[in-house]
Amino acid sequence: MLIAPILFYAGILLVFIGIIGIVAYTLILASRRTQRDNQGGGETEDKSSKGEVEGGGVIFIGPLPIVFGSNKRIAKWMVIAAILITIVLVIETLFVLGVV
């Protein structure tokens, strides 16, 4: 049994699951905001009402990850994510090459 088609279709499936997750999360946030606005609760002191956003990301250029975040806590989690992704990619590469 060839592993390449399985990995290909697993990757396509993960992309679609990611897209569905993003759409679902956006719809959930929109419905919560609509409910809060209808109840008149728009004057709370949370970060979303102040317009503050926290975020971060990891960009891979070849084998090198570039990590960024809006604060130290987010950047720390992005470094952890980069390490995990790098480990998975190394294991997958070794598996495809037949070393493992």
pLDDT at 18 (0 to 100): 92
Q: CA 7 from chain center: how many Å?
A: 20
Instruction: Decide: helix, strand or coil at residue 67.
Output: strand
Does the reported pTM lie above 0.85?
Answer: no
Q: Give helix then strand counts, H and E, for the chain.
A: 3, 2
pLDDT at 12 (0 to 100): 93
pLDDT at 41 (0 to 100): 55
- The dihedral over CA atoms of 80, 95, 10, 23, expressed in degrees to the nearest 10, equals 10
pLDDT digits (tens, 9 = 90+) for 18-48: 999 999 999 998 888 887 777 765 555 555 5
Contact 69, 56 (CB under 8 A): yes
Domain locations along the chain: 1-49, 54-100
Radius of gyration of the chain (CA): 19
